[in-house]
Amino acid sequence: MDVGPKTLSLMCTYIKKVFDMKKIVSITSLLMLVLLLSPSVYAQEEVCAVYVTGIGCPHCARVDPILFTQEVNENNLILIEYEVYQSQENAQIIVHYNQEYGSGFGIPLMIFGKDEFLIGDNPIIQNLDTYLESESNQCPLLAGPKNFDEMDLNSLSAKPTIWANNRVLIADGKTGDNSILHELLTSTSVHEVLSSVNYNEIENEPVHYSGGFVEFDHSVKVGGWIFKWNGRDVINGTAINQTNQTNQTNQTNGTDDIIEPLTLTKLVSLAAVDAVNPCALAVLSLILIGILTYNPTEKKHVLYAGIAFSIAVFIMYLFYGLVIIKLFQVIQTLTSVRLWLYTALGVVAIILGTLNIKDYFRYKPGGLGTEMPMFMRSAVQTIISSVTSTKGAFVIGLLVTLFLLPCTIGPYIIAGGILSAFELMSTIPYLMLYNLIFVSPMLAITAVIYIGMAQVEDVSKWKDKNIRYLHLVAGVIILFLGIGMIMGWV
């Protein structure tokens, strides 16, 4: 077959194109291979960290909102959180991490790996971006570093909360299909994952942190985990798009739901114990006797003096309460001490309760921790005897609180320790309630004497006659409160 010049030229051009195409295919294949072998090219780097925090820790309150409402949403950050103030299961986690990673005992604490950790609010805030912009890392587990996708979430130590991709998994038994748990945190379609598993819709409560809380659109129970997320809902087969709601305005350390049912009951009980304290009633009786002795016909002076004295005690005890709470908060940097504080307060309550009950069976004036010491009484009586006016009653009320402290400070220290878990300014309403209950018998006695239902001497005699029963009532209340605190009932 004859091949003309034109035909030969077309054949050469075709062959050249074929070889060029092979070259292109080879180059393309090589590039695809590089992409497949280089995770940093096709996916954003994942940074995994363990974060130790505590609800009520003021330094944590600066870091928590940044991590839980911003970084786990805007960055590819996987955060394994351990809250150590409210969770007894997590109490020793910081000790174990210090043994494995040498991370120390301060909080907030953020661990990225061996010798890679940040302690304190300023170091975390200032250096967090540097770690988030670095290469992906293995999750720093107590059993050793491990890639997140290889982790068995059910085998994690203590009671973790895992944050990722604007979602959260909260351990509540740590059972369930590990692969499903991973998919819930990482899948692009939560509703598709849930459509193939068994789950229970549960009450959608916010997730608290130190300084506020995060609200999620949906909440379900999957195995031994609580899963919360924002966006599409598949409950009852209905797909609904909802808006992410994050609340950072709650400045009570995310504890409003906690303080009402638990702390309020304890505070009222402690205040009631303090209110029936015999030495506080004795001091008021002495002041009223002094006023009546100086102005026997002017009942209004009794009213004014009693109110002035009660207000003075209220003001000074409010101040003492803030000081006690602040002192307790100072030791929050010593996490190992803070972890046992609640139990220690329960022990103190049991001791005080026992001492008061002892006074019922074997009463002795000036009992340790239950009444004003005898050596103070003469000095107090001398000071009080000089009261002749309303202003004097107020001034004396300010001064004698120092003498009242030995017999009233026990329940107040317990109350201050309980409230120290919350931000200082948010405790003021609860301190005001405590002290209002504390001074209420003083106001009641003042009113009874003013309207003529009883004489001051009658009140003093009633107190002396029933002093053993007052100790018994106070002792029983505070004893059971202490037992309840240790046993975890309250």
Torsion over CA: 87, 89, 91, 95 (sign): negative
- Tokens 């304890």 belong to 266
pLDDT of residue 141: 94
Same domain, 168 and 261: no
Same domain, 210 and 264: no
Same domain, 37 and 53: no
Same domain, 264 and 162: no
Same domain, 122 and 215: yes
Same domain, 119 and 66: yes
Could you list the residue range(s) of the whole structural domain that residue 442 is in?
A: 256-487
Of 247, 279, 296, the residue that ends a domain is 247
pLDDT of residue 288: 75
Same domain, 29 and 89: no
pLDDT of residue 111: 94
What is d(CA 309, CA 314) in angstroms, rounded to the nearest whole number? 9
Would you say the pTM of this structure is higher than 0.85? no
pLDDT of residue 235: 39
pLDDT of residue 240: 35
Total domain count, the chain: 3
Same domain, 350 and 434: yes
Same domain, 326 and 236: no
Q: Tens place of pLDDT for every residue, the chain, 490 residues?
A: 454 555 545 555 654 554 455 555 555 555 555 544 444 333 446 899 999 998 877 788 889 988 988 888 877 889 999 998 878 788 788 888 988 998 888 889 999 998 899 998 889 999 998 888 887 889 999 989 999 989 999 999 899 999 998 899 999 888 889 999 999 998 888 888 888 888 888 988 889 888 788 889 889 999 899 999 987 544 333 333 333 333 433 333 344 443 444 467 788 888 888 887 777 777 777 777 777 666 655 678 888 888 998 999 999 999 999 998 888 877 755 555 555 776 788 888 888 889 888 888 988 877 766 677 777 777 777 777 666 678 888 888 888 888 777 777 888 888 888 787 677 888 899 999 999 999 998 898 888 888 877 776 777 787 778 888 888 888 888 888 888 777 756 5
Same domain, 224 and 352: no
Same domain, 378 and 472: yes
pLDDT of residue 356: 84
Same domain, 151 and 38: no
Q: Are strands 200-201 and 167-171 parallel, antiparallel or unpaired?
A: unpaired
pLDDT of residue 159: 92
Of 247, 276, 303, the residue that ends a domain is 247
